[in-house]
Structure 1
Amino acid sequence: MRESAAERHDRLLELVRRHGTARVSDLAGLLGVSPVTARRDVEVLAGKGLLDRVHGSVSWPAAQPAGRQEPPDALVLGLLAPSATYYFAEVIRGAHEAAARAGARLILRISDYRPEEDHARVEGLLAAGAQGLLVAPGWRRPQDPAEHGQWIAGLPVPAVLLERQPGPGTPADALDRVCSDHRHGVLLAVRHLVGLGHGAPVLVARADSPTALSVRAGYAAALGALGLSAPRGAIDSVPAELDPEGFEAAVGALREAVTAGATAALVHNDVDAIQIVQRLAELGVRVPEDLAVVAYDDEVAALADTPLTAVAPPKREVGRHAAELLVERLNEGFGEAARRHLTLLPRLRVRASCGAPSGVRPTEVGVPGPGRGGAPHTLA
């Protein structure tokens, strides 16, 4: 199976983290890619603040701003993430910024969406001195929390879950957590499309991550809340580079839905949405003239030929609030303080793929009004 860019980025980050500093030419050899590809990967990761780049070499970024030294007794926060690219790059950045503001050091380990390795990665963070943990397990399937998440509730240090919701009543459900409200994000998208005169959109979505599963659940909830019926069953989406036949089947199913009268689609995620729109154009289906499209994630949606309207989960804010909560727990003591479940609301960024006039600046739907400042709402 061909390695994706995200998987290669994670390997590159792990190599730099392990060595501290490395030449880009050496990284190319270790990764088995051309120097041009290695330089391009480094530029992407440095642009996201995940690496420091100087004169042909890269290094792991300091946890503190330049010129600022960590005190000997600085808090050490450990972060387990399933990836350091795409969605989780912004989560990590938010946590890193909050840790730096608090005078804490953030150390990172990547599970590469292998939930069976999560526990060992966390043990590595604890061995490296982590006094508290930010944990985003690499769950992909509905059964993963039960099969690979029992250890989380028994951690010996304070822990905050990131973008993960264990089953109700499970021990891990009693931990602090900070999540995006993906159901709300889907509702924003569906309500926007209906407000433009479309019927219920076709859902094109993956089923290989907690976000994907939440988007699917949110779609059913949104249709129920708005009194709508799905025009057809959800179309299973797959990465084009990993499963070309599956990708073509998804595009074909969506084209058939358009032929049958569908005029709108919600696609998770951005990369899939861009590639699907490109392929539809080759088959004679135009966006937005024949099909209005909303993507979910808003990582690269704005860069499509026809900029895609997209739901934008508050990824950076998730990382920031989680790190701030963990620092608060460490400063106050583990004790019996009431645990918190913070849910942050996504926004809808409206662009041309839904028929916005050319030259009009993108707008946001779901932006908090004056005086509310984007604060999360707290769930019981």
Structure 2
Amino acid sequence: MRYTVDERHERILELVREHGTLRVTDLAAQLGISTVTARRDVEALSSGGRLDRVRGAVSWPGAPEPARRRTLLGAGARPAPAPAGEGPVIGLVVPQSQHYFGEIIRGVQETVQSAGGRLVIGLSGYVPGQDEVQARRLLEAGVDGLLLTPGWMRDGAEPDAPPLDFGVPTVLLERRAAAGTEAAELDSVCSDHYAGAGLAVRHLMSLGHRDIALLAGVSATGVQVRDGYEAALRAAGIPRPPVEPIELYVGEQGLRRVDEAARALLAAVDGGKVSAAVVLSDTDAILLLQILRGLEPQLQVPTDLALVAYDDDVAVLSDLPLTAVAPPKYEVGEAAVRLLLERLQEAAPGVARTARWHLALLPELRVRQSCGAELKS
């Protein structure tokens, strides 16, 4: 049955009056409308004081707490329990579930579960347009808020950037938005890769190295690491890098690109231009070591080249354990969920809204053998 807006609002009021409190997704199913439409309707009704919003649900003003989260089922049917308790349903859109994002997802999932909520994930695969597709899909599934890692975003200033306002509380995850963009008005939680690169450079300088190269691919992390690396050099009185940053990959990773990077690095060391390097990521650093051992002239780490990896997923598993900068991935996921839960609470009527947060968590330097220091971990 098709309703006018007014008819739909009246029907929503009737259902909520009858049940006390109902999930927005239940209302959508009962009325045969999308979750997005139902959410807009209850926002309009709650703004007018006719209903109260309660974390993904809507309640009749003054309804007792036990009436919450009943399901719309036929007479005599048993109500279905909330999937993971009485907490919110959180949507997470990330480019992939492995590599860098695996530990972030674990932090998100465990924090959502500890809040009695449920996590629903969408994978964009770095495919243009899929961030929005996955976000819309999760909204249709009834999520109360979104954690979003736009696969297209590197520095937040990309031209023709798609909109990020999906009508629910949203927190950017591991992305830094450029000033003056729409994304800059959202909450965000990320690793401070800018400072993390500085940790690597300062450690190498403490060992006497000033000719420090950077090897990195083109990515959101790579943009910040490069900026931090160059800023740390300038802070030490070095106006420019000894060689231009060596690209490990553009788009897809591959051994051919790492081999080219290894040869460029070998030439820089052999020519006396470089004595140390920062490599993003540690997987690439391990591959780099393997290739360097097969080239002529042979280059020994750390005797001929001190090396710091960036990421620390598998750096300690190298046959020569790698000193590495470790972004606080689990803590980023944890902090993002806690911030989003606060925003969901503030969406309730009568709750004051606080200032937006751009939260950056500092990585940790884990010193091992690849930069000439003693093994510590």
Same fold (TM over 0.5): yes
2:301 equivalent in structure 1 = 287
Indicate if the aligned counterparts of 1:240 and 1:247 stay in contact, CA closer than 8 A: no
Residue 241 of structure 1 deviates from its aligned partner by: 8.6
Residue 277 of structure 1 deviates from its aligned partner by: 0.9
Which residue identity does 1:182 align to in structure 2? Answer: H
Residue 73 of structure 1 deviates from its aligned partner by: 4.2
- Distance in 1 (CA, whole Å) between partners of 2:342 and 2:248 is 40
- Distance in 2 (CA, whole Å) between partners of 1:121 and 1:170 is 22
- Residues 1:275 and 2:316 aligned together: no
- Residues 1:361 and 2:376 aligned together: yes
Indicate if the aligned counterparts of 2:92 and 2:120 stay in contact, CA closer than 8 A: yes
User: TM-score normalized by structure 1?
Assistant: 0.72
- Written as runs of structure 1 = structure 2, the 5 A alignment for 1:135-174 is 135-139=148-152, 145-148=158-161, 150-152=162-164, 154-174=165-185
Residue 342 of structure 1 deviates from its aligned partner by: 0.7
2:105 equivalent in structure 1 = 92
Aligned residues: 290
2:144 equivalent in structure 1 = 131
- Distance in 2 (CA, whole Å) between partners of 1:102 and 1:124 is 23
**Quick check: 323-332 or 75-84, which moved more?**
323-332
Q: CA RMSD in A?
A: 2.1
- Written as runs of structure 1 = structure 2, the 5 A alignment for 1:102-117 is 102-117=115-130
- Distance in 1 (CA, whole Å) between partners of 2:84 and 2:244 is 56
- Written as runs of structure 1 = structure 2, the 5 A alignment for 1:198-209 is 198-207=209-218, 209=219
2:312 equivalent in structure 1 = 298
Residue 198 of structure 1 deviates from its aligned partner by: 1.1
Match of 2:367 among 350, 355, 358: 350
Per the alignment, do residues 143 and 206 of structure 1 end up closer, same or farther by CA in structure 2, a change over 3 Å counting?
A: same
Which residue identity does 2:172 align to in structure 1? Answer: L
- Distance in 1 (CA, whole Å) between partners of 2:153 and 2:335 is 24
Residue 144 of structure 1 deviates from its aligned partner by: 7.5
Which residue identity does 1:346 align to in structure 2? Answer: P
Q: Deviations over 1:249-269 (max 9, x none)?
A: 211110001102221000011
- Written as runs of structure 1 = structure 2, the 5 A alignment for 1:241-320 is 242-261=253-272, 262-283=274-295, 284-320=298-334
What's the % identity of the aligned pairs?
47
- Distance in 1 (CA, whole Å) between partners of 2:357 and 2:326 is 23
1:119 equivalent in structure 2 = 132
List, as ranges, runs of 4+ consecutive aligned residues in structure 1 with deviation greater than 6 Å.
none
Which residue identity does 2:372 align to in structure 1? Answer: G
Match of 1:179 among 166, 176, 190: 190
Which residue identity does 1:235 align to in structure 2? Answer: I
SS in 2 for 1:282: coil
Which residue identity does 1:174 align to in structure 2? Answer: E
SS in 2 for 1:354: coil
Residue 155 of structure 1 deviates from its aligned partner by: 1.6
Match of 2:355 among 338, 356, 359: 338
Unpaired runs of 5+ residues, structure 2, are 1-80
Indicate if the aligned counterparts of 1:239 and 1:272 stay in contact, CA closer than 8 A: no
- Residues 1:216 and 2:226 aligned together: yes
Indicate if the aligned counterparts of 1:312 and 1:349 stay in contact, CA closer than 8 A: yes
Residue 332 of structure 1 deviates from its aligned partner by: 2.5
- Distance in 1 (CA, whole Å) between partners of 2:256 and 2:122 is 34
- Distance in 1 (CA, whole Å) between partners of 2:156 and 2:376 is 43
1:227 equivalent in structure 2 = 237
Residue 247 of structure 1 deviates from its aligned partner by: 2.4
Per the alignment, do residues 166 and 240 of structure 1 end up closer, same or farther by CA in structure 2, a change over 3 Å counting?
A: closer
Per the alignment, do residues 98 and 142 of structure 1 end up closer, same or farther by CA in structure 2, a change over 3 Å counting?
A: closer
Which residue identity does 1:292 align to in structure 2? Answer: A
Which residue identity does 1:103 align to in structure 2? Answer: G
SS in 2 for 1:295: strand
Per the alignment, do residues 240 and 113 of structure 1 end up closer, same or farther by CA in structure 2, a change over 3 Å counting?
A: closer
Indicate if the aligned counterparts of 1:200 and 1:223 stay in contact, CA closer than 8 A: no
1:9 equivalent in structure 2 = none
- Distance in 1 (CA, whole Å) between partners of 2:93 and 2:217 is 23
